[in-house]
Amino acid sequence: MPDEVPPDAPTVPEERLRGEGWERTETTTRKRRFGAGAATESTVVYADERLREAVAAATGDDRTWRFFFASSLVFDPPLPPVTGTSGAFPTVAREARNAFESDLKRRGIRDLDRRRRERVRVDSGDRASLYPYRGRLADVDADVAAWLAVRTTDREFRLAGGGYPERLPGDVDANPTEYRETLLDLVRAVR
C-alpha cells in the first residue's frame, strides 16, 4: 500500500472501497500553478483489485481495469474574495480536463471522445461539473468509459473521477451499468 493519505486529501468512503475490493495504489501531493495562483494538490488513487485478478486469471492480461481518484486543490494564499473559486473555476476545470485526458492516454486509452458536460449534485449538497469520456484500449479489444467531476467547496476545489471497462477482452463479462453507478456514487461521496 502506498504512503499515508496526505492531510489535505479529500475524504473518500475508504471503508466501502476496501469492502468492495478496491485498493489504494497511489497518494501524491504536489504544487501546481494556475492562472489564479499556486495550489497544493493532494490525490488518492484506488484500483479494483477483484476485477484485475478476475481478468488476469481468465485472459492473462494483468492490468488495472477500474480506477477511482479524488483530489483536493487548496490555494495558498487563498483566492481573493473578488476572484474566489467561481472566477478560477474555468481555469481549474480546463487544467483538470487536460490532466485527466493525459492520464487516460498514459493508461493506454485511445480515441478519446469527450462528451457533453453534465451537472450532478454531490452528497454534500454542492453541484459538480461532470465530464464524460469514451475511448478504447489501444492494445486489446476493450471499450472504456471515464468520468471527471470538478466542484468547489469552501474556497477550495475537489476533483474526482475514474474509469471502467464497457467491454472486456475475451469471454470476461463486464457490467458497465454497475461500474458506472459505483463510480458516480464514489464521486458524489468525496468531501
pLDDT in tens, 143-190: 999 999 999 988 899 999 999 999 998 788 899 999 999 999 999 999
pLDDT above 90 as % of the chain: 74
Q: What is the rounded average pLDDT of the residues 5-31?
A: 92
CB atoms within 10 A of CB 163: 25
Q: Please tell me the predicted confidence (pLDDT) of residue 58.
A: 92
C-alpha cell at 10: 479529500
> Which domain covers residue 182, as residue numbers?
14-189
Answer yes or no: is 161 within a domain.
Answer: yes
Find the CATH number of the domain harbouring 169: 3.40.1000
Nearest to 148, CA basis, from 156, 140, 157: 157
On the CB side of 162, CA atoms within 13 Å amount to 27
Answer yes or no: is 146 within a domain.
Answer: yes
79 band by pLDDT with thresholds 50, 70 and 90 = confident
Q: Give φ, ψ of 149 to 5 degrees.
A: -115, 135
Helices (H), the chain: 14-19, 49-59, 84-106, 176-189
Give the residues across from 160 on adjacent strands: 70, 149
pLDDT in tens, 92-124: 999 999 999 999 999 999 999 999 999 999 999
Answer yes or no: is 4 within a domain.
Answer: no
Answer yes or no: is 43 within a domain.
Answer: yes
Q: For residues 107 and 118, what is the distance between their CA atoms, to the nearest angstrom?
A: 24
Answer yes or no: is 1 within a domain.
Answer: no
At residue 141, the 3 state secondary structure works out as coil
Answer yes or no: is 6 within a domain.
Answer: no
| Statement: residue 10 has pLDDT above 60 | yes
Q: Give φ, ψ of 60 to 5 degrees.
A: 85, 0
Answer yes or no: is 62 within a domain.
Answer: yes
Provide the number of structural domains found in the chain: 1
pLDDT greater at residue 20 or residue 7: 20
Answer yes or no: is 54 within a domain.
Answer: yes
